[in-house]
Amino acid sequence: MIFFRSLDNKKKYSKYKKRLEEKNIEYCPFCDIKKIIIIKKFKYWFIAESKFSYDGICKTDNLLVVNRHNSSKEDLSFLEFFEYWNITTELLNDYDYIIEDSFKKLDFKNHYYIHLIKV
């Protein structure tokens, strides 16, 4: 079995998620702008550093995140999707893989994002 996160990172992430559950709040890490390290901004999207990266499988795991909360892949607007398509097409030159978590694997289901991977 392949683990996307190293054991150490997996433990940190579990602790982080448990803390959020204990607080029982609707917390969205992608809307907490003060805590995000933004690498690049676009009109409808931004690229951010992943706090709990897939360090078990790669060197770099950045996230491409849509600006809008309460978003899913299905309800992206035409303009959001058009920009997404342009960004991901261009980024394929900079990254090795673009990974989209399936809905059951998404940890934050109310804010759409994908992983940008360099191995």
Which residue, 58 or 115, has its beta carbon nearer to Zn ion? Answer: 115
* In the complex, least distance from residue 111 CB atom to Zn ion, rounded to whole angstroms: 4
Residues 77 to 106: which contact Zn ion by CB under 5 A? none
Q: Which of 82, 9, 98, 12 minimizes the C-alpha distance to 47? A: 98
Which residue, 43 or 90, has its beta carbon nearer to Zn ion? Answer: 43
* In the complex, least distance from residue 90 CB atom to Zn ion, rounded to whole angstroms: 24
Residue 2 has φ and ψ, to the nearest 5°, of: -95, 130
**DSSP at 28:** -
Which residue, 22 or 32, has its beta carbon nearer to Zn ion? Answer: 32
Which of 53, 111, 114, 115 binds Zn ion (CB under 5 A)? It is 111
Block residue for tokens 């299905």:
74
Cα torsion through 110, 119, 60, 29, rounded to 10 = 10
Binding mask 11-50 for Zn ion (x = CB under 5 A): -----------------x-xx-------------------
According to DSSP, the β-strands at 60-66 and 45-49 are antiparallel
Instruction: Note the residue count of the chain.
Output: 119
The residues of the shown chain that bind Zn ion, judged by CB under 5 A, are: 28, 30-31, 69, 111
